[in-house]
Structure 1
Amino acid sequence: MSVFIDSAAAGGEHANALRDVLSPTAEIFYPNSTEFNSLSARWSTLAQPKVNVAVVPFSDDDVVKIVQYAKKAKLPILAYNGAHGAITTLGRMQGGIEIYLGRLSSVVVAPDGRTATIGGGISSKAVIDALWSTGKQTVTGTCECVSVLGPGLGGGHGWLQGHYGLVADQFVSMNVVLADGTLQTVDTNSDLWWAMKGAGQNFGIVTSLTSKIYDIKHYDWAIETLIFSGDKVEAVYQAANDYLSPVPVNLINWSYWLNIPSADPDKPVILFYLIQEGTTAVNSVYTKPFHDIGPISIEAESGDYRDLARWTQVALDSAPCQKTGLANPRFPAYIKEYNVSAQRLEYDIFAAEASGNSPFSASIFMFEAYPVQGVQAVESDSTAFAFRSDNILTAPLITYTPTGHELDQQAAALGKKLRGIIHEGSGSEELHAYVNYAFGDESPRNWYGCEQWRQDRLKALKQKYDPEGRFSFFGPILQGV
């Protein structure tokens, strides 16, 4: 039976109309109810979208009916899932229908064991666990509470990308509700296929996906977590350039700059992860150069693939998966290798502005170095994801309790300053920004590639499939729409 929570809030008449066309199991919630507040909560409260009603579909046809109704009623729509996208362009959504996809969460492995069909709203953890139980795995995002499609439509980095490529590179076909309210199967026979793999948020709502899956090659994984003081910045990142570039196919290197008072009460530390597949201890070939630098601490653990999120603090119960009313803008920039001098300058600014009693003391500077062999094995022009030649994803994450416009401006200024140093140090003329981490002030060239043919192709597809700009809140291809 449909659930309706009456409210004087805007959207009541639309909810009543939707009740007549949706399936009996679909749910509709009004503002100020517990359910609405939970479903519409976002990980970052900066420039968050505002919706009048939250609709929970239980089938593809429900999504079709919602999109058709919204089109007729001239209401904006926005698909919700993990709600971790923090891009400020989402704030242009002011009143309309939230389509919460979390109930579309099935996993069906094909009889040949080569693909699985998954619901468009399923979380990465749910897919990992379901496939693991059958001896299979695939590339998903690293954070357990994000969906597969959320990062995947923007490319999607993952632990296994060294072997198989990005999340988007696993796509075989998908069912997509387009702007005109039709449900279409999109695959290699469609001109839209190219765009869905890197800029897919601009073209529709994916209700189900068929993805490549693989036999589990290695059950053993190991990690070393090293903590360094800030005076070791040059040594740590020079060693990363010397010994981890390119990152071996079975190795992942992440690092965070963050405040850990028990390790250093005054300044941020470098939390440095070395993660290796197919072993119970990270090979000393990789660890010794970093041991020689003199870390504050070293912790080694072993387990399996399902432990990676916990080890790196992106599990369901980790802080990044909690929605606590904080603002969490990120300022991403891809680079090919570390500019050690720039790393020092970034660290000094970050330490000066995000330590002690600073309102930004909970911030983290993120450096994600995945193996890229599988990513770069895919032709760059074959997908809308444009940055296959880059090796490292960087992003200051400026976390704070919002108090008003002035603090928002200070946070943005800090994030842009740090991103600017990274970009300048990279030597790249154009800023390459991972759209899933984007702040929102970047351009479509920064999100989807600076080549004119890329921009022209995306604009032509947008004009063909979404001429009214129904899907233009997340990293819009056409600015100002």
Structure 2
Amino acid sequence: MYYLKMQAVMAIAAWAFTSGGQNVPVARDRAPGLHSRGNYDMTELQNKLSSSAKIYYPNSTEFDDASARWSLLDEPKVNVVVVPGTENDVAATVQFANQRELPFLAYTGAHGSLTTLGKMDQGIEIYMTQLDTVTVAGDGKTATIGGGAMSKAVVDALWNAGKQAVTGTCECVSILGPGLGGGHGWLQGHHGLVADQFVSMNIVLANGKLTTIDTTSDLWWAMKGAGHNFGIVTSLTTKVFDIQHRDWAIETLTFSGDKVEAVYQAANDYLLKNGTQPEGLINWSYWLNNPGADPNNPVIIFYIIQEGVTTVDGAYTQPFHNIGPISIEPASGTYTDLAGWTGIANSSPPCQKGALANPRFPIYLQSYNVAAQEKAYGVFANAVRGNSAFNNSIFMFEGYSMQGVNAISADSSAFAFRSENILAAPLINYLPAGPGLDTQVANLGNQLRDILRDGTGQDDLRAYVNYAYGDETLQELYGSDSWRQSRLHSLKKKYDPSGKFSFYAPIA
């Protein structure tokens, strides 16, 4: 796909050019490491950990690699990295941090870009990478997955066993990172969200206790949508399914920006159909700069994805052909090709960590308001074209099948937005250059989001917590129903009264 190759070259070039200073992150080096403060010795923790656990200190390659994040806007500052070798190591680390009154934060894919993460100041990172096992149960109905297992590893291990699970779409995030916030995935039209598949989990609570919870726990409801606020999941048992369709197909259409209204009207009429988009049919799109296709304005990259076929049905694609795309690129393969086709594979630019900021400004929509789409496109194009500091930014629109999500009761989990059909988010990509530029980005991202919100006719914003910027209210992230807010606050008071888990979209 020429446009993705072009975008990859541009993004990776920018990353390579700016990443040279990342070996010694300045913000982290301004404070001494915990091991050198003198009031205790990190060997005390080391002696409590398993033989496979590791501790990394600043000014080492291991520390830099383990603490690197995808977005450098308001990134957390850590002084030491603990790499657990066992689930009990996570508990021991939390207990140690509590005894020393030190903040701690679990890392997996490190793709969270909320500004609230910046409140983590000089504490312990718990890097979950070694807890990565995937084991399918003998009956083939569930799998137990380590808390640090990444999506691609889970998908590949299950695929090789003839199984599938609902996971996040991006290969370089964990299964639990998205899942604790609800978790959208390619298979949600059949089975529901990632969180809807949870059967049980081992979790380290704020007091450092490792415990197992399932549907019998009052905490279970909160872990499915607001889980980042309540503990560190060290392992998860989740539903898995026999592979239903090995064949998948995609058609990638590139449109010039003057086709915005026509493209999204067609999406409403022929794909979404008032929320009845068929199971196994997905529409995705990106707005991004691609000088090879249009040297002056961002283009629209529109994907139509269908399972169980080798060519996307013409009933879905022909209306878009009639609009007059710049190019049409069909492809066929398997479920394991989806991330590569949509530019979110391990090798894709969004999975590379460097020296760039990547805040997102998410909003849920029920359908595309074509007038709002056109207005947002105009603002976006003016902000990112040419030599703009934001010219590697993208605007994302994810339109999954919703039958499996809607089939599950809305009050069954802390995830509150089951009636929405589209997840949209501008992602402003830029090289940090001080608070002035950060403020400009926040203004742009919120302006774009507000345009789409105005198009919904709703007063309230409904935002996906896993894409959140950090200025959203609790009602915007977890639902405005008073009973939801009351239940979350009550559980927070019970399980984390001191606010140990207060960095990722915190429940105050």
Superposition TM-score tier, normalisation by shorter sequence? over 0.9
Q: Is the 8 A contact 1:332 1:438 kept in 2?
A: yes
CA deviations on 1:201-251 (whole Å, 9 max, x unpaired) are: 000000000000000000000000000000000000000011111321111
| Whole-Å separation in 2 of the counterparts to 1:14 and 1:116 | 39
Q: Which residue of 2 aligns with 1:414?
A: 444
| Whole-Å separation in 2 of the counterparts to 1:260 and 1:137 | 34
The DSSP-based 3-state class of the residue aligned with 1:51 is: strand
Q: Given the alignment of the two structures, is residue 31 of structure 1 paired with residue 58 of structure 2, yes or no?
A: yes
CA deviations on 1:120-155 (whole Å, 9 max, x unpaired) are: 100000000000011000000000000000000000
State the AA in 1 paired with 2:75.
Q
Q: Given the alignment of the two structures, is residue 9 of structure 1 paired with residue 39 of structure 2, yes or no?
A: no
Q: Given the alignment of the two structures, is residue 45 of structure 1 paired with residue 72 of structure 2, yes or no?
A: yes
Q: Given the alignment of the two structures, is residue 395 of structure 1 paired with residue 418 of structure 2, yes or no?
A: no
Q: Is the 8 A contact 2:91 2:210 kept in 1?
A: yes
| Whole-Å separation in 2 of the counterparts to 1:257 and 1:98 | 35
Q: Is the 8 A contact 1:333 1:394 kept in 2?
A: yes
Scaled by the length of structure 1, what TM-score is found? Answer: 0.97
CA deviations on 1:81-106 (whole Å, 9 max, x unpaired) are: 00000011000000110000011000
Q: Is the 8 A contact 2:270 2:316 kept in 1?
A: yes
Q: 1:292 aligns with which of 311, 322, 331?
A: 322
Q: Is the 8 A contact 2:249 2:311 kept in 1?
A: yes
CA shift for structure 1 position 51: 0.5
Q: 1:100 aligns with which of 100, 114, 127?
A: 127
| Whole-Å separation in 1 of the counterparts to 2:286 and 2:407 | 28
Q: Is the 8 A contact 2:399 2:422 kept in 1?
A: yes
State the AA in 2 paired with 1:113.
G
Q: Given the alignment of the two structures, is residue 463 of structure 1 paired with residue 493 of structure 2, yes or no?
A: yes
Q: Is the 8 A contact 1:9 1:30 kept in 2?
A: no
Q: Which residue of 1 aligns with 2:13?
A: none
| Whole-Å separation in 2 of the counterparts to 1:433 and 1:182 | 32
Q: 1:386 aligns with which of 407, 416, 429?
A: 416
CA shift for structure 1 position 17: 2.1
Q: Is the 8 A contact 2:229 2:502 kept in 1?
A: yes
Matches within 5 A, 1:441-480: 441-478=471-508
State the AA in 1 paired with 2:150.
S
Q: Which residue of 2 aligns with 1:4?
A: none
The DSSP-based 3-state class of the residue aligned with 2:297 is: coil
Q: Which residue of 2 aligns with 1:111?
A: 138
Matches within 5 A, 1:134-145: 134-145=161-172
| Whole-Å separation in 1 of the counterparts to 2:495 and 2:364 | 30
CA shift for structure 1 position 73: 0.6
Q: Which residue of 1 aligns with 2:267?
A: 240
| Whole-Å separation in 2 of the counterparts to 1:369 and 1:70 | 42
Q: 1:276 aligns with which of 298, 306, 310?
A: 306
The DSSP-based 3-state class of the residue aligned with 1:102 is: helix
Q: 1:166 aligns with which of 167, 179, 193?
A: 193
| Whole-Å separation in 2 of the counterparts to 1:273 and 1:208 | 34
CA shift for structure 1 position 9: 3.2
Q: Is the 8 A contact 1:367 1:393 kept in 2?
A: yes
Q: Given the alignment of the two structures, is residue 127 of structure 1 paired with residue 154 of structure 2, yes or no?
A: yes
Q: Which residue of 2 aligns with 1:3?
A: none
CA shift for structure 1 position 267: 0.2
| Whole-Å separation in 2 of the counterparts to 1:156 and 1:218 | 21
Q: 1:292 to 1:464 in 2, by over 3 A?
A: same
| Whole-Å separation in 1 of the counterparts to 2:200 and 2:46 | 31
Q: Is the 8 A contact 2:51 2:85 kept in 1?
A: no
Q: Which residue of 2 aligns with 1:367?
A: 397
Q: Given the alignment of the two structures, is residue 85 of structure 1 paired with residue 109 of structure 2, yes or no?
A: no
Q: Is the 8 A contact 1:15 1:53 kept in 2?
A: no
The DSSP-based 3-state class of the residue aligned with 2:373 is: helix
Q: Is the 8 A contact 1:139 1:170 kept in 2?
A: yes
Matches within 5 A, 1:293-372: 293-372=323-402
State the AA in 2 paired with 1:240.
A
CA shift for structure 1 position 441: 0.2
State the AA in 2 paired with 1:208.
S
Instruction: Report percent identity of matched pairs.
Output: 65
CA shift for structure 1 position 279: 0.3
CA shift for structure 1 position 424: 1.1
Q: Given the alignment of the two structures, is residue 20 of structure 1 paired with residue 54 of structure 2, yes or no?
A: no
CA shift for structure 1 position 45: 0.1
In structure 1, stretches of 5+ residues that fail to align are: 1-6
Q: Pairwise CA RMSD of aligned residues?
A: 0.9
| Whole-Å separation in 2 of the counterparts to 1:437 and 1:100 | 21
| Whole-Å separation in 2 of the counterparts to 1:270 and 1:52 | 42
Q: Is the 8 A contact 1:175 1:208 kept in 2?
A: yes
State the AA in 2 paired with 1:82.
G
CA shift for structure 1 position 190: 0.1
CA shift for structure 1 position 193: 0.2
State the AA in 2 paired with 1:11.
L
| Whole-Å separation in 2 of the counterparts to 1:135 and 1:65 | 37
The DSSP-based 3-state class of the residue aligned with 1:139 is: coil
Q: 1:464 to 1:14 in 2, by over 3 A?
A: farther
| Whole-Å separation in 2 of the counterparts to 1:427 and 1:20 | 59
Scaled by the length of structure 2, what TM-score is found? Answer: 0.92
Q: Is the 8 A contact 1:174 1:208 kept in 2?
A: yes
Q: Which residue of 2 aligns with 1:72?
A: 99
The DSSP-based 3-state class of the residue aligned with 2:121 is: coil
| Whole-Å separation in 1 of the counterparts to 2:197 and 2:46 | 36
Q: Is the 8 A contact 2:249 2:309 kept in 1?
A: yes
